[in-house]
Chains A and B, each alone.
Chain A
Amino acid sequence: GAVVSQHPSWVICKSGTSVKIECRSLDFQATTMFWYRQFPKQSLMLMATSNEGSKATYEQGVEKDKFLINHASLTLSTLTVTSAHPEDSSFYICSARRAGGSKNIQYFGAGTRLSVL
């Protein structure tokens, strides 16, 4: 149990276009989902926390108008990178915390590698 699916796994887009990444909890309900970004040879950096039915909370320095997060259901959160630029190229990873689950455990998706040309 506790499977998180992330789609797509790899996306290449042109500069100026928008890209949507989906994060789904397949076998549990997630009241909270998290979005992280990871640059090569670096650790994961939290971008935002998404609670079902409410606005996401963004970490300092993360532009909320550029990284749109929607958590419309207990099993789905989406991250849209708007007007992507080459510096947005990175590995984006989501995680989900089970509703009523045990002790703050987060379950992670496999990640999405975004390359902006």
Chain B
Amino acid sequence: DAKTTQPPSMDCAEGRAANLPCNHSTISGNEYVYWYRQIHSQGPQYIIHGLKNNETNEMASLIITEDRKSSTLILPHATLRDTAVYYCIVRAGDNYGQNFVFGPGTRLSVLP
């Protein structure tokens, strides 16, 4: 199983881009990178996922390095409501028996 490493905490100024890194150097060829976030006392919220190409949706962008050993989640214009714990998870996308393993994540604080 691929493991991920994230910084424990980050600060970001409101209105600026928040770039959250994740290392997954042992990722397998069929494993996707998923990002979730958990705002205090709520369930995790799905943000984005990708395999090898960069992805963008209404919430964020996901940049995956060419060797797929690391990725960066980008929140282009962070707001105070983006303050949360962000989890990077690596799991196979096609094997429905695969479960998510949540690490400690990165606690992002968006500052006014």
Contact = CB atoms under 8 A, between A and B. Distances in A.
A80 interface: no
Main secondary structure of the interface of B (DSSP, over half): loop
B44 interface: yes
A91 B39 CA distance: 13
Given A43-B103, A43-B105, A104 B93 contact: yes
B43 A46 contact: no
Contact of A43 (B42, B98, B102): B102
Given A104-B91, A105-B34, A110 B42 contact: yes
Interface residues of A, number: 27
A97 interface: yes
Main secondary structure of the interface of A (DSSP, over half): strand
Nearest to A34: B99
Contacts of B45: 108
B44 A104 contact: no
B20 interface: no
A44 B36 CA distance: 12
Nearest to A103: B93
Task: Give the top 8 A-B pairs by smallest Cβ distance, nearest first.
Answer: A108-B43, A103-B93, A44-B102, A43-B102, A108-B44, A111-B43, A93-B43, A104-B93
Interface of B: 32, 34, 36, 38, 41-46, 49, 87, 91-96, 98-105
Given A97-B96, A111-B42, 15 more contacts: A6-B43, A36-B102, A43-B104, A44-B38, A95-B100, A104-B91, A104-B93, A104-B95, A104-B98, A105-B46, A106-B100, A108-B36, A109-B43, A110-B42, A110-B43
